[in-house]
Amino acid sequence: MNDQELYRAKAFRRLVFITRDDLLAARWWHEGMASSEIATPNRRAALKLLLGMGGVIGAGLLLRAGCRALSDPGITMDALELQRKEGWAVGAQGRALLIPDGVAQDSAGGTAWSATLATLGKDLAPGDALLDPFYVPTLFEVFGNPRGAGLAQLIRPMRSVGMEVAEHAAQALAALFGQAEDRKKTALILDMPGPVSVAAAAGLARVFAPVFLFDNWPHPMGVVPSHQTLAAALYHRPDFLAARGERPSPATPAFVLDSNRLSPYRDESDRFDNRYLARLPSADNLAKLGIDRVLYVTAAPQPHELDDLNDDFVAFKSKSIDVKMIALSDFAPAPEALLAANRLPATDRTYYYGGHPTGQLLFWSSYGWHSPGYAGRTWTGSLPRPVSTGNNFAPVSRPTLFSSRSVGGLGGVGKQKPSGFGRVSYRSGGGGSSFGRSGSFGRSSFSGSG
């Protein structure tokens, strides 16, 4: 069989079918065009074949698509890099942002929050010389970037019931470390959905210094709904500013993550892959801060840390930094009978560990961490609310997509993403733009002219 016969024998396969009010077309790929065994057909021959497959419907549009496919292969790059180059809403300009539980006022009752969006990154910095180097302001700085134009008109504060519960639970968590000696050498890592993590950070901000690690930008079609994290931060900004002046010095860190950063994604045609990796301080940097115990805080009990933290946690353990877990669901208001027995008002809605007014005694004894404030005191009785078993947690090395991808450095600098993670393919020109995932336009929208 000669080259031309082999070429004709190869089948066409459709990579994408586009149906929109203004466009009906398909993009095809002929297996023979990718074969190294034959000479690639010239441009005119390829277009004839494309036209032949198009039939009488949309032949001209198919010609346009074929021309574009052959002449403009597009580029693949990191999602954040693309947004900084083309705009935060690249490929989805004009789309709305879904902000559930949006409100008009921030936590202080203010309505002028929109006038100071550009200072959000500065306002939410730790404000501590030792902790500022670990702060990742990427998400908050979108407002001060020219490529963030238009976002300010779509954003507003957010306050949900889940955020309110997280704030109260975090206040109870902070109360466990109310004494300076109790929180000394301790760091928290909050790893929950963005708005919940922000609310929890606000709840403990008068005791622990929040160090935000949100390393992406929002996008109308984003896999990670980072605009909701922004909305929660706008709501709680007054709380963070007030707490900065009230915290004891030196500050004890609470590193704040968005667990949605690793949201599952399978090349959906209507999603923009803005996922990213956590950038925690290295074990050496924590040791330099005098940290020898880390409490990993989740919304509900879970068996282990998220996958991109496994190498970090194992490294902490190798530096004799004790890592344990706790869930915010471990905290709840106490029943009225217990409030009365402890001579507390029946209207008290304060959250406690295990829902018990003296639950902190159980926390310190079961976690095995020395506390001068609770020395010599033991827990007796039972808890009205079951608590998680995070006191028994210990990091164990396990295979993940992110295993051995960290090459060290400050705050996770150098941590490598798996192939295709947080990357998009993009094509721009003439009549518009389109994007897809990981170098493939196979399921993305198509626009422009050839």
User: Which pLDDT value is given to residue 76?
Assistant: 83
Q: Is the peptide bond before 250 cis (omega within 30 degrees of 0)?
A: yes
Q: How far apart are CA 212 and CA 235, in angstroms?
A: 15
Any idea which residue has 């039939």 for tokens?
55
pTM for the whole thing?
0.80
Beta bridge partners of 204: none
Amino acid 1: pLDDT: 54
Chain Cα centroid distance, residue 384: 34
The 3-state DSSP class for residue 226 equals helix
What letter represents residue 172's amino acid? Answer: A
Pair of tokens at residue 312: 């970090």
Q: What is the pLDDT of residue 310?
A: 95
Token pair, residue 73, equals 């292969």
- Residue-level pLDDT at 2: 53
Residue 6: predicted pLDDT:
46
CA–CA separation, 352 and 297 (whole Å): 15
Q: Where are the beta strands (DSSP E) in 21-103?
A: 23-30, 75-78
CA atoms of 450 and 444, how far apart (whole Å): 17
Buried b (16+ CB within 10 A) or exposed e, 220-237: bbbbbbbbbbbbbbbbbb
pLDDT at 150: 96
Q: What is the DSSP string of 284-296?
A: HHHHHTT--EEEE
Are 216 and 272 in contact by the 8 Å Cβ rule? The answer is: no
CB 282 within 8 A of CB 409: yes
Residue-wise DSSP of 16-44? EEEEETTEEEEEEEEHHHH-TTSPPPPHH
**Segments in 262-395 forming alpha helices (H):** 283-288, 310-318, 336-341, 359-367
Which structure tokens are listed for 350? Answer: 């304060």
* Amino acid, single-letter form, for residue 249: S
Q: List the end-to-end C-alpha distance of the chain, in Å, as a whole number.
A: 34
> Tens-of-pLDDT digits for all 450 residues of the chain?
555 554 444 444 444 443 333 333 334 344 443 433 334 445 455 445 444 544 444 444 333 444 444 344 567 889 999 999 999 999 899 899 999 999 999 999 999 999 999 999 999 999 999 999 999 999 999 999 999 999 999 999 999 999 999 999 999 999 999 888 888 899 999 999 999 999 999 999 999 999 999 999 999 999 999 999 999 999 999 999 999 989 988 889 999 999 999 999 887 767 899 999 999 999 999 999 999 999 999 999 999 999 999 999 999 999 999 999 999 999 999 999 999 998 999 888 899 999 999 999 999 989 989 887 777 677 777 899 999 999 999 999 999 988 765 444 344 445 678 888 998 887 765 444 555 555 333 333 322 222
Q: 273, 245, 275: which is closest to 436 by C-alpha?
A: 273
Query: Which DSSP string corresponds to 386-405?
Result: ----GGG--------TTTT-
Structural tokens at position 448: 């422009």
How far apart, in whole angstroms, are the C-alpha atoms of residue 301 and residue 303? 7
CA distance 249 to 419: 42
